[in-house]
Chain A
Amino acid sequence: MKLYEYEAKEIFLEHGIPVPEFRVVSTPEEALKAAEEIKGRVVVKAQVLVAGRGKAGGVKLADTPEEAYRYAKQMLGSEIKGEKVNKVMVTKAVDIARELYLSIIIDRSMGQPVILSSPEGGVDIEELARTRPERILKIPVDPLIGLREYSAREAARFLELGEQSKQAQDIVSRLYEVFLKYDCELAEINPLALSTDGKLYAVDAKIIVDDNALYRQQELSGDYLRDLSYYEAEAKKLNFSYVELDGNIGILCNGAGLTMATMDTVYVMGGKPANFLDIGGGARAELVEKALSLLLQHPKTEIIFINILGGITRCDEVARGIVEALKKNPVKKKLVVRLKGTNEEEGRKILEENGIYVFEFMDEAARKAVELGAKT
């Protein structure tokens, strides 16, 4: 789960990482008031989770409170890359002398946390990693020991600071504390700004929390459905994985790998998947009914391709769920069903009694789904 900038900055403040003074508001009037209180030049920043809001007009420098009002008015209620802006941040504009980069990530290949430090912040770090990797220092941290002081010192030293190096080291340690406490996949300060009067500030803040740890991050996870579409949120509530795509062939399978492979097979054969829907292992009829109902109700889905390879999932349960969903949703959508594995015979019988043909092989079923998809 991604946190909004203001949430990440609130966490930073609590942990002693310096952040320029800010307010979070949801009306232009509040933005005006916030700018007056903060005094001087302010930056108005749309609070959205999508990347690249700066280029999309979501970050504006305002010289006066009136200007802040105008920018807030423009941004609030508008959409940035498809995401609605409900809140803006009004924050003190820092006179920046230099922009630096600092983050802690979980490095999958090393299987441990890594501190990334660069004297060149404010830019796209992926781009920097491609073009000039020598400008990024990577320091692995042993998860069983935790952050060593020398590692924090080294990360700070790479930022090429003078007297502020000690403060930067302190920020690294505090960022690591945040990283641990909130089960972060990423805790990032980009840019970490050195102001013209010699102070360090986290001008932007990004935190991604591990979804698997939300059970123990209650204070953050109250609103965990927020970055999802309606259908994605509905699916999440029912506890299956669902991702929207832009085609017309709905995909319903058991298991993440098989679901992806089914999407890909449809694509290779010339069709366009409308979604990824993984009902997981051992789904009962009721869950299958709910999953299929979701696809039957989805306006973009014209054909539905169900591909089940039953291990712990039983084909008869799946078949009962399918029949039930069709009864409950009198929508005319074509179904292509492939069932294989545990209790296959019973499943096949249930579906055939209800006039639904059952394919044995994935490829022939995919071909059929693509053929039907091309006709609509």
Chain B
Amino acid sequence: MTILVNSNTRVLVQGITGREGAFHTKAMKEYGTKIVAGVTPGKGGSTVEGVPVYDSVGEAVRKHPEINASIIFVPARFAADAVYEAIDAGIELIVVITEGIPVHETMKFVKYAKMNGVTIIGPNCPGVISPAECKLGIMPGHVFSKGRVGIISRSGTLTYEIAYAMTRAGIGQSTSIGIGGDPIPGTSFIEALELFRDDVDTDAVVLIGEIGGDMEERAAKYVVETGYEKPVVAYVAGRTAPPGKRMGHAGAIISMGVGDAQSKINAFREANIEVAELPSQIPEILRKVLKNK
């Protein structure tokens, strides 16, 4: 079954004619993702990698009613509008790759999406992949392999590092979700954990957190309070990060006494979630918790 994306996902690419959009359309197609249409205002009628381009999302959806997911590569200052356009066209899953969207915009479209029952992944994220079925994102497909462990992460390359270590150890993934590095993600750790709870193809979940905010602490609390049935394993990046400095991601900052790595590690441990000290330790911890299950 997997979550969010699978072989039935039919994709619209917003910003398909841009450098990133075109490059990743090709890469996703090569992976086997079913991309049915693209949108760039003013470029309707052209094609990119054999994919027809339309001027608006509404038009694309009318011509291709099977579209059920969109991926957005639109530059930051136009990205919020692209999200509203996709929500208003009735697309139920929207992945926002774009980095640098003002947080005042993000909090509005995230709220609007929730009101409309739409799932947003990102912004500032690598996307979602269900290995061997669908890659809706910019991640290198070959580091992932099909299996039964879910990944939820605030980071891109660190996820690839951990997925690669898992793949090498023979532990495949059901779905890997990069929720993004911004302060307000469309889908939080808790919401992603909820999706994995109900997925019959997922046996355990890896949470890859980092400094900033309190999403990890809330996820730990959620695991305890709901008696989460599947084992959860965690890693938290940024224990050597100084307070008050933004560590690459807009959301990776310890501010006003909130968001340091130790608080997150402690919260996980109190919730009986084993925390890896090094990313490379994730596979052996997974092996242990899966055996005990």
Residues of A at the B interface (CB closer than 8 Å) are: 106, 108-109, 111-113, 125-126, 130, 142-144, 180, 183, 185, 210-213, 215-216, 241, 243, 245, 253-261, 263-268, 273, 276, 278, 281, 309-312, 340-342, 361-363
Contacts and interface: CB of A to CB of B under 8 A. Distances in A.
Contacts of B251: 108
B18 interface: no
Contact of A256 (B77, B111, B181, B239): B181
A265 B241 CA distance: 12
5 contacts: A106-B184, A213-B102, A255-B157, A260-B158, A311-B126
Nearest to B110: A111
Interface in B140-164: 140, 143, 153-161, 164
B279 A261 contact: yes
Nearest to B217: A109
Tell me whether chain A's interface is mostly helix, strand or loop, or mixed: mixed
A264 B155 CA distance: 15
Interface in B198-226: 208, 210-215, 218
A112 B155 contact: no
Nearest to A247: B240
A265 B161 contact: no
Nearest to B103: A210
B64 interface: no
A278 B248 contact: yes
Contacts of B261: 264
A281 B156 contact: yes
Contact of A241 (B111, B139, B161, B246): B246
Contact of A260 (B107, B164, B238): B238
B142 to A, nearest CB: 9
A253 B247 CA distance: 12
B139 A311 contact: yes
B278 A255 contact: no
Contact of B104 (A210, A266, A312): A210
Contact of B138 (A112, A278, A311, A340): A311
B242 interface: yes
B157 A340 contact: no
B77 A267 contact: no
B278 A257 contact: no
B140 A342 contact: yes
Interface string B97-138: 000111110011011100100000000001000000000001
Given A106-B183, A126-B257, A363 B111 contact: no
B272 interface: no
Given A108-B251, A255-B156, A281-B156, A264 B240 contact: yes
A363 B276 CA distance: 13
B158 A212 contact: no
Nearest to A272: B240
A279 B140 CA distance: 18
A260 B156 contact: no
Interface of B: 23, 76-77, 100-104, 107-108, 110-112, 115, 126, 138-140, 143, 153-161, 164, 181, 183-184, 208, 210-215, 218, 235, 237-242, 245-252, 256-257, 261, 277-280
B102 A108 contact: no
A341 B213 contact: no
A312 B115 CA distance: 34
Contacts of A342: 140
Contacts of A215: 76-77
A192 B59 CA distance: 53
Given A143-B104, A144-B111, A264-B237, A243 B279 contact: no
A212 B101 contact: yes
Given A183-B104, A216-B102, A342-B140, A261 B213 contact: no
Contact of B157 (A241, A267, A273, A311): A311
B238 A258 contact: no
A109 B161 CA distance: 28
A243 B107 contact: no
A113 B104 CA distance: 9
Q: Which of A113, A211, A256, A266 has the most CB of B within 10 A?
A: A256
Contact of A142 (B23, B76, B111, B280): B111
Q: Which of A106, A309, A361 has the most CB of B within 10 A?
A: A309
A68 B65 CA distance: 72
Given A213-B104, A256-B252, A266-B240, 15 more contacts: A106-B183, A130-B257, A144-B111, A144-B112, A210-B102, A216-B77, A258-B156, A258-B158, A258-B160, A261-B279, A263-B238, A267-B240, A281-B156, A312-B138, A341-B160
